[in-house]
Structure 1
Amino acid sequence: MSDLFSSAGLDQSGNRPLADRLRPARLSEVVGQQHLIGEDGILTRMLRSGSLGSLIFWGPPGTGKTTMARLLAHETELAFEQISAIFSGVADLKKCFEAARARRISGRGTLLFVDEIHRFNRAQLDSFLPVMEDGTITLVGATTENPSFELNAALLSRAHVLVFESLDADALEDLLVRAEKEMDRPLPLDEGARQTLIGMADGDGRSALTLAEDVWRTASEDEVFDSTRLTEIVQRRAPIYDKTKDGHYNLISALHKSVRGSDADAALYWMCRMLDGGEDPMYIARRLVRMAVEDIGLADPNAVVQANAARDAYQMLGSPEGELALAQACVYLATAPKSNGVYVAYKAARKAAESNGSLVPPKHILNAPTKMMKEMGYNEGYQYDHDAPDGFSGQDFFPEKMGRQRYYDPPERGFEREIRKRLSYWERLRQERHKAGDS
């Protein structure tokens, strides 16, 4: 085979992807993940103890999960076997388990690496349990999804979940330097373009090396790309953002909490991250309306008006013009006074409604359209508030068995300061009129 490459004027090793050629041969060569393989990292401590145990690697693509599993097998002298949950079924698992049992009889253990393990169904995941428990295999599963949601509790109870972090700019720069040594030539990018490429990689080491390969393939002799030319050549890699998985929920949580925390700059950043990742702008618009009523409420009654107006503006203008309306609402909500007074009151009233059964309203506030109902005391003693002094009768409107309740307690913020004054004023009038009625 090597003669075929040579006769064609090709280097066989050079035909392999750069990411594969730079795959670390030792744990010390792994870029990033120092919280796992550093001097005090959990994997370092496990290797020192001589006991590895089954593991679940959770993290974004291109962070070294497969490489780490392979190196762990080498460090512990376990046979390394790899399968993908996307392409494997029960028959494949049985073959793996049988081969592992045969090795175990001969005195050698097996590290079974399962990529995309979250793709297996519950029955397939359960099949791992007996061979994990009796030591036939040491399972290392890799997933980009939250194991708490995607893997069953029985499997998680038998494995240690390790979180892999996206590679930072320094780690990606280290990879590019290694690539330049492997290629024996500098990457034909100016400093700005180099940083742009690192940003495009979005924490994915494999992506950084693939983008670098594209640059080397495309650049002519002595040509150096700037950021604009780089973007034209390699296109822009979409950010890691799955609109139905963790990325979606993590970013909307970040946006919501930034608005709640009155950080307009952070709120704008997270909203733009979602838009940049392809999120439906109308989903963001709906969430802004929710924030307006949950976290601002009557502290600024105009907040929900702004949020609804932004939604309507986006529906009329579309993208990209309508996104500015969403940005305006986002900043308005973040800078508005905050109150969850109505939200708390609603939950308390809802709980009371569910727990007190079907209590009837007091008769004096029930209409009496028939003679029989009037004879039964319906509407008897009702005082028309507009005829009362100050437009306030002070009557009780709760069921008699409950008595008066207090759910809404507006804070001393924003417009709710005025509401609090009104409630205090009405409570004072109510007490005065009850006293007058008792006397």
Structure 2
Amino acid sequence: MATTECPICSRHVRTENLQMHVEACLAKQDHPKTPFCSPSPSAKSKSPITSRTPNRSPPPQNSPSPSPSALKKRKRSTPDDVSAVPLAERMRPKDLDDLVGQEELLGPGSLLSTLIQADRVPNMILWGPPGCGKTTLAHVISKKTGCKFISLSGVTSKAGDMKDAVDRARGERKMFRRRTIVFVDEIHRFNKSQQDFFLPPVEDGTITLIGATTENPSFEVNNALLSRCRVHTLKKHTPESIEKILRRALRDHAAGGVRSLMQTQESETQSNGDTTSQGEDGKEVSIEAEDEAIKYLSTQCAGDARVALNCLEMALQTAPMDSEKHVLRVSATHVQHCFAHRQTLFYDRNADMHYDVISALHKSIRGSDENATLYWLARMLEGGENPLYVARRLIRIASEDVGLAAPELLPMAVSAYQAAHFVGMPECDVVLAHVATMLARAPKSIEVYAAYKRAKQSIHAWDKGALPDVPLHIRNAPTKLMKELGYGKGYKYNPHYTAEELKDQTYLPDELLGTNFFEEAKTDRDAGIGIYTVAMMLIVTLRLFRAKYYNVMLEIFYSMRLFVFGIVMVFLLQKSVSVPALRRAVVMTLVLALYTLPVEILLAEFVEPSARNLAFAVMSAVRALSLLFFAYVFVRPPARASKRTLREYCLFIFTYSALHFSSELFFHLGSSSMGFALTYATVLWAIIALSSYKLYFAIDTVLMNGSLRKVCTC
């Protein structure tokens, strides 16, 4: 006997009686013109009319009224009892206008909102964090459109449920020309074959698929199915939207009914003497919630509306009530107590957050921000990340980002991996933090990383046929035949030859001779700035000589001396003596070193040589800026620099500059005796300081020449 499902009440009836059954179901509905709406839950609970035979059951006899306790028991056993439904479910919006948040996706005039209003819902994937409204949006679509709505779950639904849903959709389309929306919650839980099952009905339009997932659809949804669906990203709620949802829940009758139902249940235990009944006078119970309590929930739930509503429900169920005033008071302290035992750390070891946080850790180390490094490391470890995974990434960072600038950190990273393997969590967290901080503070060099990348590109970009053969003189020749074929012939064993004798020996194929994977780009911006600055210095010097300004050579010498100071400073900041570090030092310090040249131009062009007071004031003010710079570095040295060495160096420069400036001041004021005394003190300090600290012996000659020249010229 063939049966068909009724599209109105979802009951299976004989095929020949289907039309009569559908007409009877439509006649029982309040609105006979809405056959295209989804069946209500009450309609499903009614028995279908399978026969026109009148009901011949005997009329009900008068029976005594049930006792109050019986009514309470009956009420408690009712399946529609509102107390059994969580607050988050009761507060689920029923209309598109009731949705809070997601203004970019569902705001007035948005694409999705327009499609929903026009009943043209396409196949889509709703992607967002938990509690952002994915399932709610699907239910709103079911009530807003004239389509039959079938809900499946990626956790509980099986192949039979999926096949039954598609069969029902085909019946709807064949008999009533009505579309069917199949909503699959947690669609990422379906395997590949289960997801592929929806491809044919989605392609031919039998169903409109709406999937909801918290995982990245690019990785968790099959490409074939993903190409037929539009992905809509839902963002987590802001604290403002969460606060709006909570206040709506407090105003709603469902929120107030939580306590009323509790009172009803408490009154049942009155006979046992456990509690006293409250609210027996029939007065309604009002709720007073502190603003701090609502704001605390809205900020601590991490954008999850379900978490916020569940915590609010717990607070309402356990909050003290003023029985005289019938007021339920929800304080911030009580809400914090209810929220204290909830895990608020959201971290997924296998989803997007896993890769986002490790990317943030890597970029923080690359940017030498040790504070951000420790924060993201703590986020991963406290979230349950495998410490060995973090240690492996630190090994990669030690070679990729630090590289030759601090090669000693690579074995440190390997040791951290071994320590994490031997010790494990939670003791290995400090080990990983130790190495991560060292990597963050270390100088950075991607020289090897970039060079190896160029080497790989040269292999993949080779367009001259087969790859070049290994040159014969550096081939392996373990047998006599290979030696006779010329393998290894002409190879010079490096330890037995001098550099001059080895200069003709090559190691690259002939086609690649002259290739330098470490070569910098030809359009090097730093080099261009350096060349431009040197050219400007020569031009300005010539103009100053032509103007015959009296202290041109002295100021040029002071600039060069400050240039040397700056180079040493940059080296101390970088803790690197490589060629790129030297280039950066030159470029960074040329501007600081040549600060006097623009002033010299102004003095030479617009100021007479006799105006010594103005010249001295201008030069003194400009030199004071460099003095303040060294003083600032002395007080607050950068975290990645050697603080002790840097402070000693800045103290030396600061003292030297102060003595030298004082000597010039006294000479300018006419006190030659004090000027000579401070000049010799400057020379003495330079000798003692440099011999004590042993900082870059090349400065010694420059400083001594400058100080003696000053003494001689005075």
- Which of 369, 377, 397 is equivalent to 1:271? 377
Residue in 1 that maps onto 2:402:
296
Alignment of 1:69 onto 2:138: yes
Further displaced range: 115-124 or 31-40: 115-124
Residue in 1 that maps onto 2:202:
132
Residue in 2 that maps onto 1:108:
178
Unpaired runs of 5+ in structure 2? 1-67, 257-285, 322-328, 527-570, 583-714
Q: Within 2, Cα distance between the matches of 1:306 and 1:43? A: 53
CA contact 1:201–1:237 (8 Å) conserved in 2: no
Compared with structure 1, are the counterparts of its residues 66 and 103 closer, same or farther at alpha carbon in structure 2 (3 Å cutoff)? same
Residue in 1 that maps onto 2:506:
396
Q: Within 1, Cα distance between the matches of 2:82 and 2:69? A: 13
- Which of 448, 461, 469 is equivalent to 1:342? 448
The two structures have a TM-score, normalised by structure 1, of 0.80
Residue in 2 that maps onto 1:281:
387
Superposition pairs of residues 284-363 of structure 1, within 5 angstroms = 284-312=390-418, 314=420, 318-350=424-456, 357=467, 359-363=469-473
Compared with structure 1, are the counterparts of its residues 254 and 107 closer, same or farther at alpha carbon in structure 2 (3 Å cutoff)? same
Compared with structure 1, are the counterparts of its residues 42 and 251 closer, same or farther at alpha carbon in structure 2 (3 Å cutoff)? farther
Deviation of 1:383 after TM superposition, in Å, equals 6.5
Residue in 1 that maps onto 2:85:
16
Residue in 2 that maps onto 1:241:
347
Superposition pairs of residues 375-394 of structure 1, within 5 angstroms = 378=488, 380=490, 382=492, 384=494, 388=498, 393=503
Q: Within 1, Cα distance between the matches of 2:332 and 2:248? A: 20
Residue in 1 that maps onto 2:515:
405
- Which of 40, 43, 46 is equivalent to 2:112? 43
Residue in 2 that maps onto 1:7:
72
Compared with structure 1, are the counterparts of its residues 21 and 229 closer, same or farther at alpha carbon in structure 2 (3 Å cutoff)? closer
Further displaced range: 100-109 or 317-326: 317-326
Compared with structure 1, are the counterparts of its residues 169 and 303 closer, same or farther at alpha carbon in structure 2 (3 Å cutoff)? farther
Further displaced range: 252-261 or 74-83: 252-261
The total of aligned residue pairs comes to 418
Equivalent position amino acid for 1:54 in 2: N
Residue in 2 that maps onto 1:164:
234
Percent sequence identity is 38
Equivalent position amino acid for 1:235 in 2: H
Q: Within 1, Cα distance between the matches of 2:359 and 2:104? A: 25
Q: Within 2, Cα distance between the matches of 1:142 and 1:219? A: 35
Q: Within 2, Cα distance between the matches of 1:291 and 1:95? A: 53
Deviation of 1:409 after TM superposition, in Å, equals 3.9
Alignment of 1:252 onto 2:362: no
CA contact 1:368–1:378 (8 Å) conserved in 2: no
Compared with structure 1, are the counterparts of its residues 80 and 301 closer, same or farther at alpha carbon in structure 2 (3 Å cutoff)? same
Further displaced range: 9-18 or 206-215: 9-18
Q: Within 1, Cα distance between the matches of 2:219 and 2:389? A: 23
CA contact 1:267–1:334 (8 Å) conserved in 2: yes
Deviation of 1:210 after TM superposition, in Å, equals 1.3
Q: Within 2, Cα distance between the matches of 1:295 and 1:268? A: 17
Deviation of 1:294 after TM superposition, in Å, equals 1.5
The two structures have a TM-score, normalised by structure 2, of 0.51
Residue in 2 that maps onto 1:97:
166
CA contact 1:84–1:116 (8 Å) conserved in 2: yes
Deviation of 1:361 after TM superposition, in Å, equals 4.0
Residue in 1 that maps onto 2:216:
146
Compared with structure 1, are the counterparts of its residues 239 and 344 closer, same or farther at alpha carbon in structure 2 (3 Å cutoff)? same
CA contact 1:118–1:145 (8 Å) conserved in 2: yes
Alignment of 1:211 onto 2:317: no
Further displaced range: 60-69 or 253-262: 253-262
Q: Within 1, Cα distance between the matches of 2:124 and 2:451? A: 45
The alignment partner of 2:506 has SS state of coil
Unpaired runs of 5+ in structure 1? 423-439
Alignment of 1:33 onto 2:102: yes
Deviation of 1:113 after TM superposition, in Å, equals 0.7
Equivalent position amino acid for 1:332 in 2: M
CA contact 1:189–1:225 (8 Å) conserved in 2: yes
Over the aligned positions, Cα root-mean-square deviation in angstroms equals 3.8
Deviation of 1:127 after TM superposition, in Å, equals 2.9
CA contact 2:405–2:444 (8 Å) conserved in 1: yes
Compared with structure 1, are the counterparts of its residues 12 and 237 closer, same or farther at alpha carbon in structure 2 (3 Å cutoff)? same
Alignment of 1:226 onto 2:333: yes
Further displaced range: 89-98 or 314-323: 314-323
Could you report, residue by residue, the CA deviation over 1:87-123 in whole angstroms, capped at 9, with x for unpaired residues? 2233222221222233232243222111122222333
Compared with structure 1, are the counterparts of its residues 252 and 42 closer, same or farther at alpha carbon in structure 2 (3 Å cutoff)? farther
CA contact 1:126–1:155 (8 Å) conserved in 2: yes
Deviation of 1:366 after TM superposition, in Å, equals 6.9
Could you report, residue by residue, the CA deviation over 1:344-398 in whole angstroms, capped at 9, with x for unpaired residues? 3224435656866573345278789989949958464626467536998463222
Compared with structure 1, are the counterparts of its residues 371 and 74 closer, same or farther at alpha carbon in structure 2 (3 Å cutoff)? closer
CA contact 2:288–2:330 (8 Å) conserved in 1: no
- Structure number with the bigger relative contact order (C-alpha 8 A, sep ≥ 6) is 1
The alignment partner of 1:226 has SS state of helix
Equivalent position amino acid for 1:363 in 2: H
The alignment partner of 2:156 has SS state of coil
CA contact 1:211–1:234 (8 Å) conserved in 2: no
Could you report, residue by residue, the CA deviation over 1:138-183 in whole angstroms, capped at 9, with x for unpaired residues? 2111112221222222222221111111222222222222232233
CA contact 2:387–2:424 (8 Å) conserved in 1: no
Could you report, residue by residue, the CA deviation over 1:210-238 in whole angstroms, capped at 9, with x for unpaired residues? 1222233334446846389626x651225
Alignment of 1:155 onto 2:255: no
Could you report, residue by residue, the CA deviation over 1:219-267 in whole angstroms, capped at 9, with x for unpaired residues? 4446846389626x65122533331233322322232233334444433
Compared with structure 1, are the counterparts of its residues 176 and 375 closer, same or farther at alpha carbon in structure 2 (3 Å cutoff)? closer
Further displaced range: 328-337 or 17-26: 328-337
CA contact 1:310–1:326 (8 Å) conserved in 2: yes
Q: Within 2, Cα distance between the matches of 1:331 and 1:187? A: 49
